[in-house]
Structure 1
Amino acid sequence: MKNIVIGSFYRPPYASIQTLEHLNESVSRVKEKCKDKIIILAGDFNLPHIDWNSLAVKTSCNQSNQHHYLLNIAEEHGLEQIQMNQTRQDNNLDLYFPSHPSLVKTCDTVPGISDHEMVIVDSDIKPKYNKPKRRKIYHYKKANWENIKAKMCRLSSEVCNMKNVENCWNDLKTGINSILDSEVPSKLSSNKHSHSWITSSLKNKIEKKLHQKAKFSKSKEDWEKFRSYKSVIQKEIRNAHWTNVNESLSKSMQVGNNKSFWKYIKSKRCDNVGVAGLKRNGVLHQDSRTKAEILNNQFKSVFTKENPYAQKPQLNENRYPDINDLKITTSGVKKLLSKLNINKASGPDSIPNRILRHCSEELAPAITHIFQISLSTGTLPSDWRKANVSPIFKKEKSPRSHESYC
């Protein structure tokens, strides 16, 4: 667990800018001595004319230069002010600056014992790591591709004889997954956290019981032997770790697959990743389900909800020629399937790109048939109207607002 540095600050109402200059020097020294540690700065700053949502100083305010100086301190040292409530009359004087704002679950005010409201913060002290669900991993190298292609060909013929687009797609999806389960060996991913660079020889060295021996004997010679051995093993582990990282990243870059790179970057995170806590009706929500509902309502609100009973406007004569009928050919579908990136994740239908690519010739007639029925009837399979949506944060906006994501 990382150490936490907590700083408390009070600025008198009519203090000079030197007070903030001393604060800036103090924070600089802390940042230099306590690298990679969580920093929290809080206190009564008595600078009420900053709009913390837009990070702008209100016009025609007193001590404008000090308001701007505080904003510069926060920006220079990577601190984000998240206390937005008024703490004395109509002013927000008491502020809370964490270096890792994603760890903060709630920040609110309650009546205090003085003329200021009291700020209550509920925060984690280390990032939350969501335990990934076990997923099925297929061993394609051990697959019987001849049987797979023969079964895919029969499945495609059956789908081509059907007329309903929903039934066509459901039978094709179910059939592909059934063939996968029967012809491709698989296993479930491990739910244990392990390090690939810890080899069996390193494990044997780590498990050597020199510490127990030194603790039992209390001999100075045994303790020195243990410390010397510990230093050697730690050096070997570091070397093995960096060798593994370099080899893994270089191999992935050579084949154009950057998954290993981003997996390594993600493992080094110091903050919670994903969407920050979102406010709805003044309440900050942190659980995933509620945040998903808030964002879903936000995304729906930007679309026009059409009234099916509204009278359609009269259109003038079309000045442009009608579009030609779309022609979807089996050869075209096969060509697109054969170019799929097998390293991309599957969508909500859970059909791997590797299967679609390797069996492009066998599956192309069935997929072409589904496209043609969909165009002629004006309907889509229900699965095709589903998508995995990843919200993207808009810069220079509050991460606590659902309107800050698109």
Structure 2
Amino acid sequence: MMCKQPNSSVGISGSTSSSKSAQAPIPSCSSPKARNKQKLRTNNIRLASLNIQSITSSKKRASFWNLLDSINCDILCGCETWLKPDIHDAEILPPNSNFNIHRKDRRDGYGGSIILIKNTIKHERIEVDSICDIVFVKIECANNESLIIGSAYRPTNNDESYAHNLFDTISKVCKMYKKSAIWITGDFNLPDINWTNNTIQGHQYKKSINEAFLHMEPDLGLTQMIDFHTRGNNILDLFFSNRPDLVNQCSPMPGISDHHAVFIDTNMCVPRLKPPKHTLLMWGKANIDNMKKKCSNLSDTILNLTDTNIEDCWTLFKHGCTHIVAEEVPARQTSQRYNQPWVTRDIRRITRQKKRWFKRARRSNTQHDWDRYITIKRQAQLTCRRAHDHHVASMLSEDHENPKVFWQYIKSRKKENFGVAPLKKDGITFSGSKQKADILNDQFTSVFTKEDDLNRHNYQNAIFQI
């Protein structure tokens, strides 16, 4: 379903709205030298917004990871994460994920907002002083412009102060970045508002709460663009933008809670760091016999050298070994696409089946199709959970052939990333990097042997006598 198309406005590139003009052209390269200088590539941003309802739940984790793998979005904004500050990022993301995470947690373990953004996109977090469940990120776009993305959550209560604080926080960020494109998304729990004509038609929440967010457009220039139901017959998940002409399409898709997720395709161009490719040597397919013969010949060549200094011998040895490996050990390049090893063909099949039934249920809007969709959705969650648990169990088994995979998984699940633990000296604990480095340096130097000049002179004389 297409979004509402308001009147055209000035795009991020400074031109009037159009699908072609909003995209920043990639510079053409007329020579190999110019082509090598192009380190960045540009693509349009694809964003997903969803209500999660416990991202660390054993029933939701595998489904959430499968969602990241299947929708191929650049940015994911989530709410109701139910995270606490003592939960580490490694417990949220899949192992070796290509996403960076920005969170706003509650201490009570409910609510919360999150933004996941691919590590190939240059960005930074915007720190705001607010009690509300909202987090902001700034992205550097083409033509030296910027994009501000916010993920927010308003609880299901009649707390007027919270609603006004949330509005004031959004207003403050909009005033700080007046020339930037701004996207605010999340679950605002405002079923009383009819966003087609911007009127209040219900009485579930106080009038002042509904009016605060109706003023987003006249006061802040933010247009609410979702015009389809996201939970039951209500529009609870919203998407505000001050540049609606840069949004190609926003449409519903299957979520992982009782809310539908929202997928947004845009004309916003962002420079991306091209992920480097690494060469992987496949030692299991190496020709060991030929390598032994060539290494023996290299050894004889080096031993038969005369009048050659150590530097030339080392250079010959290094180049010889490199040449042998390149000839006898097959290699392949790593893929730039991140795939989770436990996502099997069956999972992809049932995920596609879930999407088809979701579209069918939305078209027909019959109870039979919705019941069938919910059944398949539960089957998909169960399939994902079982596949992930089986994958982990196979790595933990004693007869696993590759222990390296096991330790890579253990490393990816660690809850700390400070490297050297806090150190104690004279009964005082130090956690600063420089302080820990000084303590280790003092410890290493304390065990060195301190030789005086007399002992060194006697030692040299003994060598000369030998």
Q: TM-score, normalised by structure 1?
A: 0.37
Higher relative contact order (CA 8 A, sep 6+): 2
- Specify which structure has the higher proportion of helix: 1
